[in-house]
Amino acid sequence: MGASAEASGDRSIAAGQSINQAVSGDASVAMYTEKSLALPAEAFAMPDRAPEGLVNLPDRAALFVGRDRELELLDEAFRAVGGVVVQAVHGLGGIGKSTLAARWAAGRTESYNPVWWITAETPADLDAGLADLAVALQPALRDVLSREALRERAVQWLSARDGWLLVLDNVSDPVDVKPLLARASGGRVLITSRRATGWQGVAEPVPLDVLELPEAVELFGRIRREQGEDAEDVAELCRELGCLPLAVEQAAAYCAEARISAGRYRELLDAYPAEVFAQAAEGTDAGRTVARVWRVTLDRLVDTPLAVEILRLIGWWAPDGIPRGYLQGMGSPVEVTDAVRRLAAYSMITLHEDGTISVHRLVQAVARAEGMESAHRSTSLLNDAGDELRDAAAELGWLTHLESLASHVAPETDGEEEIWLFNLGGLRYVHLDITRALHLHERCLASAERACGPRHKLTLMARDSLAQSYGYAGRHESAIRLLERNLAYHVRTFGRRHPETIDARTELADAIRRAGRLADALRLARKNARKAERVLGADAAASLKAWSLWAEVLGDLARQDPGRYAVQACDSIKELLARATEATGTESNVSQSLRQTLALTMRRAGDHAGATAMYEDYIAGMVRDRGATERFTLHSREFFAHFLWKALNNPTRAHEVLIPLLADWESLVGPDAPQVHKLRQDFAELLDQPPDTEA
């Protein structure tokens, strides 16, 4: 049977059976179809206004806590009059960007219409959300127009009107929303994104940080709803989770479902971090666990593998105050800078004006969970950084990162890199915290003996370092036993005449000296020095070091009996200092050690002016060689001030030395730091005296 059709009117269309394309007279509607379709009247005109109370928001605001400052910032920003206003809330995945946006938008449904939420992770997601908006504006068009046509219709409607609010959630790239924002000349747009950068000319960025601790505890309690839960356990868990909202939600939901306490969850987290971060309670979004949320970001960084590697390595260090210089060995300056830039752009790290990096502790925990291989590389980088420290503040920061790595790496996994690192850390702790020095050096020795054997050079080094710490801690007999053992190994391994064997005997003589057995120390030091001179020559480093120790014992004897030993000690040390200076230079370790010993001995001989001048030379050499703010220099300057004040009874000169020393410490670590407090406490009486007063 044939078919006929009749059309009338400028914008009408008539068709019989099937057509491929139908276009109205003014080209206002175009479609592809296999069957004729009668268009409703709504297809030919866009509505002047949205249906009353048109709201599309996710149910995320129920668990909202805190964020008063951020809500106020959004309120203030969206009060602006005229043109489109765009704000971009950015931050780490799981930090609560979407929850904040949902809470703010839910409170503005009386002010805007429509209030429309679009998940905009990809351009396709954005287009789908706009198409859904077009259908919500004109439901009759649901099965009439293509998704592309619906999307275009929504953009046209937004472009011609104001008073609406769009929330574009989880935008991956600012470029994806630029075309829409260029056409939307009125209304308000609130964006959430992990991208911290790239918003210039697009939106005003609003950074979002973690919750305050009381807010995190409140969030946990809303979900857990367990009476009698230990409040301190909950607070400690929230601290360990870094007050990251998603992690707190995940933990609370899991505790509620598994019927376990916050303390038990912490135990599981410590023992099985990878598994715990991947777990989600039943009924929650399995894709919104900490591990999976961040995996999305890491997948986007796959084209910059160095960025992912950096994230894994800094996972072993302290979360704050990571100098960018620690990463310099990982690639060229441009490669490292670009990798760091990309990590910051996706909010995985934060870059600071002082050249340091911060990273959330849970990001670190997830990164560490990928295996121990990165720990050894991280250790190597810290070893390199430890060789470049130039002031006390840098050293204190370095020790913080070393402590973090030591706490996350099991001693039984220590290799050579870890032994070197923890040995160096122990040496740097000797004058700061002898307990920590002992802990690190004991770990080093145990690891070296296990991994390398009792005679390996690393084991000998670790045994010597532990003996030094024992000596500073006053455990002299323990130090002597270790060094006697070390000497025996040196003799068997290298022979009695080897320079390292002579050095080992020098160290033993020094330990005997520190134990107060000065006669025994003097005999061993003299015998060792003479043997070194015969075998190696008078100017050999081991010979000079052996004689330097002998001179130090003489200085100690001069302190005990100045009348008998002081003059002889001064003459001997002066002669030895001249030899050492000629052979090794003015600022060698041997020359500097002798200079300090001579200053102390001259004071015991009654030559205060000579002692002061010699100590000043010693400090000047330290400053030239290490810098004024290197920690050993600062320690020497402090000792000099005390020497002037108490030993030489010269408070005026001591005051002159102390004041710039205090200023340097304060500039390095701040006026309220423990080091500054202790210095003020130790010199309180001197600081209270007028500088021109003689005690």
5 SS3 class: coil
pLDDT digit string, tens, across residues 218-250: 999 988 877 667 889 999 999 988 899 988 988
Q: How far is CA 512 from CA 238, 558, 563, 598, in A?
A: 51, 17, 23, 20
* Residue showing tokens 């706009």: 130
As a whole number, mean pLDDT of residues 173-201 equals 90
205 SS3 class: strand
DSSP H helices, 515-561, are 518-536, 541-560
Handedness of CA 346, 347, 353, 354 (dihedral sign): negative
Mean residue pLDDT across the chain = 89
Cβ neighbors of 409 (< 8 A, separation 6 or more) are 316, 372, 375, 379, 418
pLDDT digit string, tens, across residues 68-84: 888 998 988 888 766 67
By percentage, how much of the chain surpasses pLDDT 90? 68
As a whole number, mean pLDDT of residues 478-496 equals 96
pLDDT at 60 over 70: no
pLDDT digit string, tens, across residues 409-423: 999 999 999 999 999
**203 neighbors 224 (Cβ within 8 angstroms):** no
Topology at the third CATH level for domain 301-377: Arc Repressor Mutant, subunit A (1.10.10)
- The one-letter code for the residue type at 415 is G
Q: Class of 55-207 per CATH?
A: alpha beta
Contacts within 8 Å (CB) and 24+ apart, 76-84? 77/204, 77/206, 78/108, 78/188, 78/190, 83/185, 83/186, 84/181, 84/184, 84/185, 84/186, 84/187, 84/188, 84/189
**220 neighbors 245 (Cβ within 8 angstroms):** no
- The one-letter code for the residue type at 472 is Y
Measuring CA to CA, which residue among 517, 497, 503, 581 is closest to residue 549?
Answer: 503
- Across the chain, which distance is largest between two alpha carbons, in Å? 137
pLDDT at 42: 64
- 403 vs 318: CA distance, rounded Å: 8
Structural element, H or E, at residue 259:
none
Cβ neighbors of 54 (< 8 A, separation 6 or more) are 113, 114, 115, 116, 136, 137
State the Cα angle at 20 between 19 and 21, rounded to 5°. Answer: 100
Question: β-strands 115-119, 21-23: how paired?
Answer: unpaired
- The one-letter code for the residue type at 602 is M
pLDDT digit string, tens, across residues 420-478: 999 999 999 998 899 999 999 999 999 999 999 999 999 999 999 999 999 999 999 99
pLDDT at 26 over 70: no
pLDDT at 325 over 70: yes
- 241 vs 92: CA distance, rounded Å: 14
pLDDT at 527 over 80: yes
Cβ neighbors of 621 (< 8 A, separation 6 or more) are 586, 587, 591, 592, 595
Half-sphere exposure (CA, 13 Å, Cβ side) for 123? 8
* Residue showing tokens 């690192």: 421
**137 neighbors 161 (Cβ within 8 angstroms):** no
627 SS3 class: coil
**428 neighbors 463 (Cβ within 8 angstroms):** no
pLDDT at 667 over 90: yes
pLDDT at 393 over 70: yes
Query: What residues are paired with 85 via a beta bridge?
Result: 188
pLDDT at 287 over 70: no
- 286 vs 294: CA distance, rounded Å: 13
> pTM for the complete prediction?
0.79
pLDDT at 15 over 80: no
- 680 vs 669: CA distance, rounded Å: 14
Handedness of CA 315, 316, 318, 324 (dihedral sign): negative
pLDDT digit string, tens, across residues 584-633: 999 899 999 999 999 999 999 999 999 999 999 999 999 999 999 998 99
As a whole number, mean pLDDT of residues 660-664 equals 96
In 3-state terms the chain splits into helix, strand, coil percentages (rounded to 5) of 60, 5, 30
- The one-letter code for the residue type at 277 is F
Cβ neighbors of 480 (< 8 A, separation 6 or more) are 467, 508, 511, 512, 515
- 438 vs 430: CA distance, rounded Å: 8
Cβ neighbors of 562 (< 8 A, separation 6 or more) are 604, 605, 606
